[in-house]
Amino acid sequence: MTSSFGRLAAGATVLAAALGTLVTPAHAAETGEAGASNTNITVKSSRGYMIFHDDGDMFSICDTNADGHGVEGQLVDYYTGTTYLYIDDGGDSGCDKKGYNVTGGTHYVMQFWWSGDGVVRKSARFNE
C-alpha cells in the first residue's frame, strides 16, 4: 500500500508542477492571457514595430524604412475600444517612446500600422 500511495503522491506532484508551468508570464503575453508581468510584447511588420516594455510601462515605436511614410500605434481597451495612448514615428532618426501606466483591472491590445496602407496589426490581449 505504501508504494501505491508513494506513486500516487509522486504523480500528483508531477502533475501540479506541469500545470504550474502552463501559465507563466511569457506564456500569458503570447496568448493574451492576463498577467503579462515583466515581459515585452511586440507587434511588427516589414516596415517597423511597436513594443510594450512592462518594466517601466513604456511603449516604443520604430519606423524601419525610409519610404516617405511613418508608422503609428495605439494602446486600446480590449473590450470597449477606448484609446489610452497614441504614438507615431517617421521622418526622424531613432524610435519614439511614451509611457502609460498599464493596470491589472483593464485588458489592453496594441494596434500598429504603416501609414502607407493603414493595415492594422494587433497584439494579443494583455494586462499588468
> Is the separation of the CB atoms in 110 and 73 below 8 Å?
yes
> What is the spatial distance between Cα 82 and Cα 108, in angstroms, rounded to a whole number?
10
How many other C-beta atoms lie within 10 A of the C-beta of residue 72? 21
- Residue 28: per-residue pLDDT: 36
pLDDT tens readout for residues 22-46: 333 333 333 344 444 445 788 888 8
Q: pTM, whole model, 2 decimals?
A: 0.68
- Residue 3: per-residue pLDDT: 52
Radius of gyration of the CA atoms of the chain, in A:
20
pLDDT tens readout for residues 72-121: 999 999 999 999 999 999 978 889 999 999 999 999 999 999 999 989 99
